[in-house]
Amino acid sequence: MNLRQIETFRAVMLSGGISDAARLLKVTQPGVSRTVKHLETQLGFRLFQRLKGRLIPTHEARLLFDQVQAVYQGVQGIDDFAQSLRNGSHATLRVACSPSLGLEVVPQALATWWARAPSSRFALEILPSPALIDALVSGQSDIGLCAAEVEHPMLRSVRLGHMDMVCMAPQHLSLGGKRHVCPADVAELPFIAFDAQTHQGQQVRAAFDAAGVPFAPLATVRFARTACSLVAAGLGVAFVDPLTAHHVHGAHHLHPIRPAIRIPVLALTSLTRPVSSLVDSFVADASRQLKAALAAATPLTSAATGRQRGSGR
């Protein structure tokens, strides 16, 4: 049976007659009759019997029709699945991101993305840069949003923007109401630094070296959230990203740093796999959320404190 024969047979079974089948298929009645007769000859058994001007399906026709319906349902399922691939409703988006981006940017971007495809699913992992890169290269994640400079031969990157680090200081370690802070301003204060293996740690150390300021931190940490918690506890000052600092409650000051210490924000995908429309739409949402979050988080003066930011929300 070819496709035309299958369509004609199904139309006759559904409509119950040659003329109705012809209208359904938008063809002539003789054309339908010829197709049915040719199909019966080809199959070697009768499909219909005439009774009072109606076509009555034979037992064989009914069994054949069950199979035809199963095929049509399968075709409809394929069409529906193709539609779902277009709108993302059958897909799972696997996202990995840096801790600072996982506080607000990525959750808000996922909320916007999911609203367009509420039948879709997603997985989110908060990872340090080395683990994030491994997840992308190994195929465990579809997209990575990273707050660090990354160059890897198996990854493509798109720069979404950047964050300028800020100086976070507890109230009792006042920086004299300075509008901007430089490494020399914190040289005599207990300083909380990032581990030397991290991108932020290398940038901060480079800023101290460029300023000719001795670098002798009180403590080292791996994550900005830890540094902010230590500052909030009154242990010292730290240079951190503004997104993380913005989410820490307590009495502390935030100061812009000059010269600026800039952290790039990158969208990373694997070069070994094509980028899906699902990923593209999420990256666009993340880019918009990053701009909005930075506009809300970046301090304008040294008067910006955790308590004041909390009252503004």
Structure tokens at 237: 């000052």
Identify the helix (H) or strand (E) that includes residue 166: strand 166-170
Rounded Cα distance between 291 and 79, Å, is 38
pTM of the model: 0.68
Rounded Cα distance between 11 and 225, Å, is 66
> CB count, 10 Å around CB of 270?
20
Rounded Cα distance between 84 and 107, Å, is 23
- Can you give the pLDDT at residue 248? 86
Instruction: Give the residues across from 215 on adjacent strands.
Output: none
- Can you give the pLDDT at residue 168? 94
- Can you give the pLDDT at residue 213? 95
**Please, what are the averages of pLDDT over each run of 10 residues along the chain (313 residues)?**
83 83 86 88 87 81 85 69 58 91 96 88 92 92 95 94 95 80 94 94 96 96 94 95 89 90 96 88 96 82 40 36
Domains of the chain (ranges; CATH) run 3-87 (1.10.10.10), 92-161+264-296 (3.40.190.10), 164-262+298-311 (3.40.190.10)
Sign of CA dihedral 167, 171, 175, 178: positive
- Can you give the pLDDT at residue 276? 85
- Can you give the pLDDT at residue 90? 55
> CB count, 10 Å around CB of 287?
19
End-to-end alpha carbon distance in the chain: 68
* Cα radius of gyration (the chain): 33
Which residues, other chains included, contact 249 with Cβ-Cβ below 8 Å and sequence gap of 6+? 232, 306, 307, 310
Specify the residue for token string 């080292």: 220
